Amino acid sequence: MVTPPARESVLAGVTYWSRDLGPYVWHEFDPERVRADLRAMASAQFRVVRTLLPWDRFMPTPDRVDDSRLRDLEVFLDVAAQETLSVIPVLFAQSIGDCVMLPVYAIDVGVKRPGVRAITDGVVQPGAPRDQYTDARMLEAELVWLDSMLAAFAGHPAVAMWDLGHDPANVMRPRRIDDMVRWAQLLKSRAGEREQQCMLTLSSRDVTTARGVRLGALAPSLDALGFDVDPKALGFTSEAVDARPLVFVTQLALRLAGGACPLYVHVDAPLPADAARFAAEAADALADIGSAARFAAAWSDGGPRTATVPPFDTHPELRMRGIVDITGERTAFGAAWLARVAAERERQTPEPWPDDIDVVEYYANLPESISDLYAGWRGASSDGPAMLG
């Protein structure tokens, strides 16, 4: 008798922001702080931790990775392995609010980009990010960075896969759709030479707006897609604290991605008054519709030191997205979220929606097209797991 293969579980993950430093943990790396935080994450039953590796710290010059940062990352990975945690290091452009951390060579001082701030060592710089997808100098630096990471850590027991960015189009919008696709193919092929997997974390804005990113074009070049959703920024509905829009846009993302690529969904916490109900409903529904992973946006709320640094100087609400607060106690969102994701859930077959879509027509007719689709989704049968309430 042939034993059927074991079904995969829905992964429970979180992005590492510390209480003291928020996303700036690599600017003041403290092994003891890291050890305590990773132990707490493991105790909370998280299985995967994403860590944003800031470009300005890891590649301050275009020709080599900082040796100190390689040693710090080795410590981080070794501690994670001791705690039985898998790690997804995030490279290249990472959107944090309206900011992206970059070294000076990655900034064009002669260009202004409204709504985007380039940050070096916590300080806002004049100019705007260079094009990471086509600029020759940027591509050379990216390949040096990736090759150095792979040479040092390919095969490390803690590394699950490599993430090629976090919502990069928010701060480095590709000029053409094919620019990002070719870029992803280049980096994925480089990682594949060392038998390493790659993903790329996109945003719900890549579904709700037409900004040079197409999930279906990128999905064949990657092992997974991340999908970051801020429930307060879904412009097709006013139901910002309801899980329905989150589930709808995730099912639509599954459809736009082709239905086969694993989707790692990242969920930002809403306002505290609505957080517990939202967390419970969203976590359950995301598992029901076939998400490969459910990620919380941040491990910890930000303490007083984070208040005056970008992006929190102009977006203080971003400091309040944690699973735990600055005392280490679980937030309302965190408690409800963990109650759902800590329990083992078998991964379901993905349920994209709608059954078919004309991608060109969809993006050409935004925002009307997504509003019409959401109205249709709301009006569909409530028998399926995606329909809440």
In a domain? residue 342: yes
In a domain? residue 172: yes
The total number of structural domains in the chain stands at: 1
pTM: 0.94
pLDDT, averaged across the chain: 93
Q: What is the dihedral of CA 337, 52, 214, 228, to 10 degrees?
A: 20
In a domain? residue 114: no
In a domain? residue 257: yes
Quick: pLDDT tens for 201-242.
999 999 999 889 999 999 999 999 999 999 888 888 876 678
| pLDDT at residue 388, rounded to an integer | 55
In a domain? residue 24: yes
pLDDT beyond 60 at 381: no
Q: How confident is the model at residue 5 (pLDDT cuts 50, 70, 90)?
A: very low
CB 48 within 8 A of CB 41: no
**Residues near 338 by beta carbon (within 8 Å), at least 6 away in sequence:** 44, 45, 323, 330
pLDDT beyond 80 at 184: yes
In a domain? residue 384: no
* For the chain, counts of helices (H) and of strands (E): 12, 15
Domain that holds residue 46: 11-98+128-379
pLDDT beyond 50 at 1: no
Could you say which DSSP state residue 233 is in? G
| pLDDT at residue 102, rounded to an integer | 98
E strands in the chain: 11-15, 48-52, 86-90, 99-101, 107-108, 117-120, 123-125, 128-129, 162-166, 198-203, 224-229, 263-267, 293-296, 298-300, 322-324
The Cβ of residue 21 has, within 10 Å, a number of other Cβ atoms equal to 21
Quick: pLDDT tens for 236-265.
887 667 899 999 999 999 999 997 899 999
CATH number for the domain harbouring residue 263: 3.20.20.80
d(CA 52, CA 231): 22
| pLDDT at residue 386, rounded to an integer | 47
pLDDT beyond 90 at 148: yes
In a domain? residue 199: yes
| pLDDT at residue 389, rounded to an integer | 47
CA angle in degrees (0–180, nearest 5) for 249-229-215:
60
In a domain? residue 326: yes
Percent helix, percent strand, percent coil in the chain, to nearest 5: 40, 20, 40
